[in-house]
Amino acid sequence: MTQKEFEQRTGEKLSAAEFCTVNDIYMASGEMDKDTFCKDWLAHSDSKVLAELWKELKHQRDIVAGKSKVIAMMEDDSMKLCDFLLERAQKFGDSELLTYCVKVYGYGHVIRRKMELELPLWEADKAWLVEALKGIE
């Protein structure tokens, strides 16, 4: 909803910063139509309870955004670790490292990463692929 639409529906004139907050609340309100939102806004815009709930929601969103960044970094580190282990398993012919990668990441992921890294597939990898592809024609 634009600021002009909001002002036409409510008769309220807001600063750009005030409208930004109203629009954030509107966007967070889900599938509510503009008219319903504006009518409810007029009835409850001065509610201290709703103001505190909105403040808490923004706080929780900030926490989630921060954790999402941390999770993305951890996923990236995890993929780098997987690649490192696969490269070492290949370099030293270490089936224990391969088995560990499979346990942590799953065989499908391990084979996909080996192919992306252009590492040769071992006989165990090929056997897993043959089994996984049975029935697909």
**pLDDT tens for each residue of 64-96:** 999 999 999 999 999 999 999 999 999 999 999
Do 72 and 40 lie in a common domain? no
Do 56 and 27 lie in a common domain? no
Structural domain that includes position 100: 48-137
Q: Is the dihedral of CA 22, 23, 29, 35 positive or negative?
A: positive
Q: Are 74 and 101 in contact (CB under 8 A)?
A: no
- If one counts the domains in the chain, the total is 2
Do 61 and 1 lie in a common domain? no
Do 54 and 42 lie in a common domain? no
Which residues, 6+ apart, have CB-to-CB distance to 124 below 8 Å? 95, 98
Q: What's the whole-model pTM score?
A: 0.62
- Amino acid at position 136, single letter: I
